[in-house]
């Protein structure tokens, strides 16, 4: 029996097949126990156990977990789930298996980007690594190219490089797939927001969110909600921002996911209350920031932001002792995050 197992294993890889634990699809669906036969920029071909091969458009597949991935790739992804970006990157850069070079390079670039965004350092290096990734894999129809273009656009916006962001989002919009075109539309809004064009930003993000609803892209909708809140604040439509974010947050528990995007929505809701400026609004803003620190401790950057803003707001409200305690917790628990270094 052992000899047959070895023979079957060797045969699968001689045919270029990679066993996969799971496919993660848009709409928060999962397909388990499949064999992935081929994957590229356009399609993913796979076979369920005992079934004929199937194909699905690439844009409908968010992620693949490969059971035959090398140990460093698997361990790197474990560290990613723990938000341990440095350890993840170290493991991912050690992957040498040519079958998984694209996957390892993507996640290594992703880890560096998250590290840069949290600490406010090495943003240029992170942008360059994503640009290099796209340049290397675009011609090979690499399946992670769309993810890299989206993250590159986000980083470029945060770095103030509107031209780089526009190029990345423009390339993304040219790729085949509804998801990429919606993200490109949202990217237009983010560039406009970064350039102070609040009305254009709100319009683009409203369209992107509507398209998410029409196509049941719930995961993408979650990701874009905080940005629409920011666009409304930039337009000084504070009450509308509060209403939009509050209605989203108050959805039934079965329709809400406690992820980092919800943490960001809580923080932006706090920003909206604070910007509206009435004394009771500032108290409500403080309450919202503190809720982030309670509900979303797994997301260090969002918690650090909430602690920093809560400390500043507490001081404005004359709560000096509370403000000092919040700053102390910020420095003690999130001292490596840029929000903590700016608060010192």
Residue 323 located in a structural domain: yes
Question: Given this model, what pLDDT does residue 15 score?
Answer: 33
pTM assigned to the model:
0.90
Two tokens at 71?
């140990």
Residue 92 has pLDDT above 90, yes or no: yes
Which of 36, 68, 100 is the endpoint of a domain? 68
| pLDDT interval class at 256 (50, 70, 90) | low
Question: Given this model, what pLDDT does residue 262 score?
Answer: 94
Q: Kindly state the percentage of the chain with pLDDT values over 90.
A: 80
Q: What is the mean pLDDT of residues 278-307?
A: 95
Residue 88 located in a structural domain: no
Can you give the CATH number for the domain in which 24 is found?
2.30.30
pLDDT, averaged across the chain? 90
Residue 319 located in a structural domain: yes
Q: What is the mean pLDDT of residues 320-343?
A: 92
Q: State the residue range of the domain holding 335.
A: 264-344
Please tell me the total count of domains within the chain: 2
> How far is residue 204's CA from residue 189's CA, in Å, rounded to a whole number?
5
50 vs 69, residue with greater confidence: 69
Residue 108 located in a structural domain: no
Please write the tens of the pLDDT for every residue from 237-251.
999 999 999 999 987
Can you give the CATH number for the domain in which 308 is found?
1.25.40
Which of 43, 68, 93 is the endpoint of a domain? 68
Question: Given this model, what pLDDT does residue 27 score?
Answer: 76
Q: What is the mean pLDDT of residues 255-280?
A: 92
Residue 327 located in a structural domain: yes
| pLDDT interval class at 172 (50, 70, 90) | very high
> How far is residue 271's CA from residue 285's CA, in Å, rounded to a whole number?
7
Which of 68, 95, 119 is the endpoint of a domain? 68
Please write the tens of the pLDDT for every residue from 121-144.
899 999 999 999 999 999 999 999
Residue 171 has pLDDT above 50, yes or no: yes
> How far is residue 73's CA from residue 58's CA, in Å, rounded to a whole number?
21
Residue 49 located in a structural domain: yes
Residue 329 located in a structural domain: yes
| pLDDT interval class at 18 (50, 70, 90) | very low
Residue 276 located in a structural domain: yes
Question: Given this model, what pLDDT does residue 146 score?
Answer: 97
Residue 120 has pLDDT above 90, yes or no: no
Please write the tens of the pLDDT for every residue from 201-220.
999 999 999 999 999 998 89
């Amino acid at each position: 029996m052992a000899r047959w197992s070895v023979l079957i294993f060797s045969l699968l890889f001689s045919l270029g097949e990679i066993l996969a634990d799971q496919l993660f699809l848009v709409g928060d669906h999962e397909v388990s126990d499949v064999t992935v036969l081929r994957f590229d920029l356009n399609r993913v071909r796979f076979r369920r156990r005992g079934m004929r091969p199937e194909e699905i458009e690439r844009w409908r597949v968010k992620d693949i977990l490969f059971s035959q991935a090398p140990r460093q790739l698997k361990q790197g992804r474990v560290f990613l789930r723990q938000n341990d970006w440095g350890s993840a990157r170290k493991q991912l850069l050690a992957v040498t298996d040519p079958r998984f070079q694209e996957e390892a390079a993507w996640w290594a670039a992703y880890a560096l980007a998250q590290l840069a965004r949290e600490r406010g350092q090495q943003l240029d290096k992170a942008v360059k690594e994503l640009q290099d990734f796209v340049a290397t894999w675009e011609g090979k129809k690499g399946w992670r190219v769309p993810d890299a273009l989206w993250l590159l656009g986000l980083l470029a916006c945060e770095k103030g490089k509107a031209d780089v962001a526009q190029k990345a989002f423009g390339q993304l919009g040219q790729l085949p797939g509804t998801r990429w075109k919606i993200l490109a539309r949202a990217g237009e809004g983010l560039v406009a927001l970064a350039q102070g064009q609040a009305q254009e930003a709100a319009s683009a993000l409203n369209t992107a969110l509507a398209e998410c609803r029409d196509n049941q892209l719930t995961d993408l909708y979650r990701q874009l909600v905080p940005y629409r809140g920011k666009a409304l604040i930039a337009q000084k439509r504070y009450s509308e921002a509060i209403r939009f974010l509050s209605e989203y947050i108050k959805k039934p528990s079965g329709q809400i996911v406690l992820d980092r995007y919800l943490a960001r929505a809580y923080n932006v809701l706090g920003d909206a209350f604070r910007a509206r400026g009435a004394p009771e609004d500032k108290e409500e803003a403080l309450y919202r920031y503190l809720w982030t620190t309670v509900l979303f401790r797994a997301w260090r950057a969002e918690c650090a932001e909430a602690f920093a803003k809560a400390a500043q707001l507490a001081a404005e409200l004359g709560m000096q002792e509370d403000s000092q305690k919040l700053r102390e917790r910020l420095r003690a628990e999130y001292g490596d995050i840029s929000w903590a270094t700016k608060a010192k």
